[in-house]
Chains A and B, each alone.
Chain A
Amino acid sequence: MRKNWWKILAACLVCASVVAGFMGPVPKLFLLHETIRNVYFHVPMWFAMFTLYTISVVYSVKYLNNGNPKHDIIAVEAVNTGVIFCFLGLLTGMQWANITWGEAWPSDSKTNGSAIATLMYLAYLVLRNTLEEEQKRAKISAVYNIFAFPIMIVLMYILPKMTDSLHPGSGGNSTFGDLDMDHNMRPIFYSAVVGWILTGIWICTLRYRVRLLESKANQID
């Protein structure tokens, strides 16, 4: 019997964050107004993406250690799912920025960094498709993934903190933990984050299981 409780938890947390995210009290902030509620929906996309990329790099390391092809499949499906969350994060970010920062793509270090990181992971997916031989493909893409992961962290989380960025927690800005988010928002935000992370992992496991079925069917043919 598969343990499914965390899938129910994911659904409940996301649904609860939708209701509480709209109805809960939020601080009145300059420029942001009601759009502060986007924190409940835009930011969890990035958390889900980061978790999936972390899973991917862990399984890439595992693959290089033991050469188990299943670990390679987990690594690639985690990136496949992570890229979807990344695009959702970029799109929602553009919509939010358009209203609050004046343009959809302000030259912001975090925005640009995440765009470059996205391209890097798209390159990972393209790279895989160009290699015919399975073992070679798995090995090369695992090594690439291990290099891409720290670069993604630097581009999205370290460089924006060192330079000026419109995002909270960068340059002289306070993190959203200090000013923008009060104690009423915190439980809703964290339940949204956990809910979306679990949802991402769930979609990833579904893709992985379908891939296993596919490869099994190919072996039989």
Chain B
Amino acid sequence: MKKISLLTFLTVLTTLASYAQSTDIEMAEGLRSSGKIWVVVLVLLTIMIGVFFYLFTIDRKVTKLEKRNS
């Protein structure tokens, strides 16, 4: 279980990294020209991570209840 989740995480990371490499130069230019868009990306990412963290907490709570009930 842990192995599989680690593997998927690594796969996503490596695909992201390879994606970043192929567009590195263009992204840096975009950064300077388009103001502070990174801040917006950071805010959205924080929101998404928060939402998913919340989902995981609910998931764990439900699992706990299921174990207690069975």
A1 to B67, CA, bound (A): 11
Chain B interface main SS type? helix
Total interface residues on B, using CB and 8 Å?
A: 31
Contact A213 B62 (CB under 8 A): yes
Q: Which of A1, A10, A15 contacts B45 (CB 8 A)?
A: A15
* Chain B 53-70 interface mask (CB, 8 Å, partner A; 1/0): 001101100110110010
CB distance from A71 to the nearest CB of B (A): 19
Q: Which of A7, A12, A19, A213 contacts B69 (CB 8 A)?
A: A213
Contact B52 A11 (CB under 8 A): yes
Contact B8 A8 (CB under 8 A): yes
Interface residues of B in 13-53 (CB under 8 A from A): 15-16, 19, 23, 26-27, 30, 37-38, 40-41, 44-45, 48-49, 52
Contact A9 B48 (CB under 8 A): no
CB distance from B39 to the nearest CB of A (A): 11
Residues of B within 8 A of A48 (CB): none
| Interface residue A206 (Cβ < 8 Å from any Cβ of B) | yes
Q: Which of A4, A22, A23, A199 contacts B5 (CB 8 A)?
A: A4
A212 to B12, CA, bound (A): 34
Residues of A within 8 A of B45 (CB): 15, 18-19
Max chain B CB contacts within 10 Å: which of A11, A20, A216? A11
Contact A3 B1 (CB under 8 A): yes
Q: Which of A5, A12, A13, A213 contacts B66 (CB 8 A)?
A: A213
Q: Name which residue of chain B comes closest to A213, CB basis.
A: B65
Residues of B within 8 A of A23 (CB): 27, 30, 37-38, 41
Contact B41 A202 (CB under 8 A): no
A-to-B contact residues, CB < 8 Å: 1-5, 7-16, 18-20, 22-25, 184, 187, 199, 202-203, 206, 209-210, 212-213, 216-217
Which 6 A-B pairs have CB atoms at the shortest separation, nearest pair first?
A: A11-B52, A12-B12, A5-B4, A22-B41, A5-B5, A8-B5
List 17 contacting pairs A-B, 8 Å CB cutoff, sorted by A: A5-B1, A5-B4, A9-B8, A11-B48, A13-B12, A15-B48, A18-B48, A19-B45, A20-B16, A20-B19, A25-B26, A206-B62, A209-B62, A209-B66, A210-B62, A213-B69, A217-B69
Q: Given known contacts A8-B5, A19-B45, what 14 new A-B pairs fall within 8 Å (CB)? A: A5-B1, A5-B4, A5-B8, A7-B55, A9-B12, A11-B56, A13-B12, A14-B48, A18-B41, A18-B45, A23-B37, A202-B55, A212-B66, A213-B65
